[in-house]
Amino acid sequence: MVSVAPSVISEGDEALLYINEKKSWIVKIESGKKFHTHRGIVDLGQLIGKPYGSEIQSTMGASMKALPADYLDHLERIARRTQVIYPKDTALITMLANVKPGSRVVECGTGSGALTSYLATHVAPTGKVYTYEVREDFQDNARRNLQKLKLLDYVEMKLKDIALGIDEEGVDAVVLDMATPWLIVEHAFKALRMGGRLVSFSPTINQVEKTVEELRRAGFVNVKALELIMRTYKVKANETRPDMIMVGHTGYIVAGRRC
């Protein structure tokens, strides 16, 4: 079923109060509820019945637009107990793993659940992400994040060292974000269906070398290693140029296919 964004703000809706790209808040719309900000107080009940995109004024005269709060808005605000993979890498990992609706994907490690959540949005509504984590505190935090994102139904959380083996069989993809991915290659080969894909994310080239060598030894084909660099721009009439500050190296991605 295709989800259609609501056009009118209703009691109990979640909305994004947007001032600019650096300042916005997700709020729950309730009659009589006041939302306090450094730019003044907003009476959220005034938005009920108005179309999304409407503006509301704070007590200090700040103008805010009310937009539907979506997955990306929530993802930016999840509780992080670990470093999360940058969106540019998350998107490419998901594509290289060929994750789509109905896919069954094994992931390790769960961390804060950011990559888990993105994979879950792609396997829904009939697929599943099986995510392995060894630290219970990380798993508990990730579970709360997935609940907030309303994606827990598409995820099975496992408190287990994946180096001891993968429980699932015939999966479509294995996605690894861990310190020693090469130790999991043999387990991944057994768990993947014919033609299934393994994708690994690593911050250092030493990890890449060991993982690529192990993939080739295990019989994976189409093995590749790459790094994705993204450059953003300051755009203004007669001043457009690359931003002075950019995210440089984030990590390397290794991919291979079971044969």
pLDDT in tens, 116-153: 999 999 999 999 999 999 999 999 999 999 999 999 99
pLDDT at 22: 85
- State which of 25, 47, 69 marks the end of a domain: 69
In whole angstroms, what is the distance from residue 118 CA to residue 113 CA?
9
What pTM did the predictor assign? 0.85
Strands 55-57 and 63-68: antiparallel
Query: Would residue 5 count as lying in a domain?
Result: no
Question: Do 197 and 248 form a contact (C-beta atoms < 8 A)?
Answer: no
Those residues of the chain that have pLDDT short of 70 are: 1-5
**pLDDT number for residue 83:** 74
Residue 164 lies in a domain: yes
- Same domain? For 28 and 146 the reply is no
Residues 201 and 240 in one domain: yes
Amino acid at 14: E
d(CA 27, CA 56): 13
169 and 226 share one domain: yes
- For residue 1, being part of any structural domain is answered with no
C-alpha distances out from residue 75 to 26, 69, 110, 143, 194, Å: 11, 11, 15, 13, 33
Are 56 and 87 part of one and the same domain?
Answer: no
Please give the pLDDT value at position 211: 98
8 A C-beta contact, residue 107 and residue 127:
no
8 forms beta bridges with 51
Domain holding 31, by residue range, is: 14-69
Beta strands in 117-237 (DSSP E): 128-133, 155-159, 171-176, 192-202, 221-226, 233-234
Predicted pLDDT at 18: 95
Which DSSP symbol is given to 86? P
Residues 64 and 145 in one domain: no
Considering the domain architecture, whether residues 134 and 221 belong to the same structural domain is answered as yes
CA distance 82 to 111: 6
Structural domain contains residue 9: no
Question: Within this chain, do residues 47 and 83 fall inside the same structural domain, yes or no?
Answer: no
In the chain, at which residue ranges do the beta strands (DSSP E only) sit? 14-20, 23-28, 34-37, 40-43, 55-57, 63-68, 104-108, 128-133, 155-159, 171-176, 192-202, 221-226, 233-234, 241-242, 252-257
| pLDDT at residue 84 in the model | 80
